[in-house]
Amino acid sequence: MSRLRELFDQQGQSPWLDNLRRGWITSGELQALIDRGVRGITSNPSIFQKAMTGTDDYDEQLGALAGAGYSIEDSYWDLVTSDIVDALDLLRPVHEATGGLDGFVSVEVDPSLAADTAGTEDAARHLRSVIDRPNLFVKIPATAEGIPAIRTMVSEGCSVNVTLIFSLDRYQEVMEAYVGGLEDREGDLSGISSVASFFISRTDTEIDRRLEAIGTPEALDLRGLAAVAQGQVAYDLFRRAFSGHRWEALAARGARVQRPLWASTSTKNPSYPDTLYVDALIGPDTVNTLPETTLEAFDDHGTLARTVDADPEGARSTLAAVQAVGVDLDDVSRVLEEEGVGAFVKSFVELLETLGQKADELA
């Protein structure tokens, strides 16, 4: 049995794939990964930029769309929708076999709407109507403007992947938006699911940079510790939020917990173990979405053990120590959120430009 299957069977963590490209769907490679234990897929504008510009797999459909007079942006969404629907169909058996726990595919709203609550809601409704599948997650960024959109969409019965979470304070707002959205909705809640995507390795990259700039022995000794510690504290907050009378009233109506999802789990620093951000965050009711290199590394030599809640107070002490040496964690999360949104917008804009050039050539 693969470690990917054991990760769920033994520890209750669902391994998802943080990538999607058409060639994997048509070649059977994606089905093979599902057979090995992949239980879901996440995508974003950067992923589609690489997929659509790095191969000619999309040229035939793009040419047909251009010939039919579609705009470049409409063509982009048509290409994306095709891939998402095909992936959803491949994962539908997983969704049904797990009673709706897994088998999801995530697609992100236009990243330029990150500061537009109403625009995000309209985009989420559109994606949900166009891609009419029970195992679809609409991705909404956890910006200040995204929080009310999350609550609204959950109240309308939309399953949501909340993305770009970088701080514990914002994570608590995300959980409150989900719970509040469930409370706003009447009737059975069992058809609504959600994950909260906490970005991990990017946090270490930014905090390590600041620790090295401080340069004291105490600061340097903290490198590579903060991101995991933040994830472990987040898990403790999750367990607290989804317990007690308020949650039990929703659970009685079929509500599902909003699982923490560990995103950005490839190791950016080559001096760190290549499975660091998987091995240190394993526990029940969680998801880890893995780029293929990290997935292969974990399946080859990852450590299967419950680690995410081994020492929550120790994790809090680590974060306190990082702040004590002079790292402003609030500023770290602000910078990372701005960079994350900016990177997705950049990928989106550049991809539209490339598709426009390709469409002209194909025409």
Contact at 8 Å (CB) between 74 and 42?
no
Cα(63)–Cα(302) distance, integer angstroms = 43
Q: What residues form DSSP beta bridges with 136?
A: 105
Helix (H) or strand (E) holding 290: strand 286-290
- Residue 69 carries which side chain, given as an amino acid letter? G
What is the DSSP code string of 105-147?
EEEEPPGGGTT-HHHHHHHHHHHHHHS--TTEEEEEE-STTHH
Catalytic member of 50, 139, 346, 358: 139
Q: Can you give the length of the chain in residues?
A: 363
Structure tokens at 135: 């195992």
Respond yes or no: is residue 139 known to be catalytic: yes
Which amino acid, residue 76? Y
Distance CA 276, CA 261 (A): 15
Catalytic residue IDs: 139
